[in-house]
Amino acid sequence: MAKGSIVAGCIAPHPPHLVYAENPPQNEPTSEGGWEQLRWGYERLRESLSKIDHDVLVLLSPHWQTYVGTHFLGLSHFEGLSVDPVFPNLFRYEYNLNIDVELSKAIHDKASNSGLAVKMMENPDFRVDYGTITTGHMVNPAFDKPLVVISSNRSTHYYSVEVMQEMMMELGRVTREAIEESGKKAVILASNSLSHRHFTTETDVPEDMSKEHITSHAMHLWDMRIIDYIRTGQAQRILDEMPEFTEQAIAESDGGGLTWLLSSLSVPDYPGILHGYGTIIGTGNAVVEWPCHVHKGGSQ
């Protein structure tokens, strides 16, 4: 069996507004558009990934929050209705997705062997979180490739960003090893925004773009700082500054996805491609791709 590899690693944020704005048949509410900069960014990401052979999407979602260990979806198929508990007016989505249970279990087992607390989720009534579905839809709306879905262990809140980083660096390492041993080509998806301070009001027309902007200058500065590191191949600096970034930008990196992504990519020293940046209800969101497949010494 040929050695597997990570062919791309992406930051793929999950605000349901993006799905709402696209008016896909799976989503019940309808819109007049909105958040085009980010949606065009996702278009560019999809175009790029369409040219890269891959078998599976491996995703860590901040909205499957687990406080006791890291969990993995452990059944081959899930379908149902997902309603966003925060923005139910925007997201009521009929999902239907498949899980690569074999790869999930392989990552689970390796993580367990390395000392992480892990569990397979095998309850057929489980409703997949809307973060997974939104990112899954924006990257691959046909859902025609299997997913590995990993929960967000909230070790940041229990201990510190530093402890979260240690755990997610290890989870990233075993994720990479399991993929290599599987013989599969995988795309890694960290489903998180950057700065994460929301507005607490919503306009009558949620897609009114005249009202959309970053919540504060400080949040903008942090987003641009992180994006600069991404674009100049300085992933290590993102990890180094993660405690300050997470605290000061109230960043969704608190869920561990970004650290896990960078670790699984062996902390890339080559530039990531910024496909798009935009704000959603005040939060900063970037669609980013690290094209590992063209970089020797990357994750392959």
- According to the binding rule CB under 8 A, does residue 126 interact with another protein? yes
Min CB(239)–another protein separation in Å: 22
- According to the binding rule CB under 8 A, does residue 289 interact with another protein? no
Residues 6+ apart with CB under 8 A from 280: 13, 15, 17, 18, 35, 38, 193, 212
- According to the binding rule CB under 8 A, does residue 75 interact with another protein? no
What's phi and psi for 37, nearest 5 deg? -55, -45
- The single residue among 67, 113, 269, 297 that binds another protein, judged by CB under 8 A, is 67
Tokens 């993660």, residue located: 242
Tokens 């997974």, residue located: 132
- According to the binding rule CB under 8 A, does residue 123 interact with another protein? yes
**Nearest CA to 187 among 289, 43, 61?**
289
Min CB(28)–another protein separation in Å: 9
CA distance 29 to 39: 17
CA distance 271 to 262: 12
Residues 6+ apart with CB under 8 A from 222: 194, 195, 245, 248, 249, 251, 284
- According to the binding rule CB under 8 A, does residue 201 interact with another protein? yes
CA distance 198 to 281: 6
- According to the binding rule CB under 8 A, does residue 253 interact with another protein? no
Min CB(33)–another protein separation in Å: 18
- According to the binding rule CB under 8 A, does residue 68 interact with another protein? yes
| Contact status, residue 81 vs residue 211, Cβ threshold 8 Å | no
- According to the binding rule CB under 8 A, does residue 121 interact with another protein? yes
| Contact status, residue 192 vs residue 253, Cβ threshold 8 Å | yes
- According to the binding rule CB under 8 A, does residue 129 interact with another protein? yes
Q: Which range, of 137-145, 170-178, 199-207, 262-270, touches another protein by CB under 8 A?
A: 199-207
- According to the binding rule CB under 8 A, does residue 87 interact with another protein? yes
- According to the binding rule CB under 8 A, does residue 220 interact with another protein? no
CA distance 15 to 224: 19
- According to the binding rule CB under 8 A, does residue 182 interact with another protein? no
- The single residue among 51, 125, 142, 144 that binds another protein, judged by CB under 8 A, is 125
DSSP H or E segment with residue 278: strand 273-280
Min CB(70)–another protein separation in Å: 10
Binding site for another protein (CB under 8 A): 64-69, 71, 81-83, 85-89, 92, 117, 119, 121-123, 125-127, 129, 151, 153-155, 157-158, 198-203, 210-213, 215, 281-282
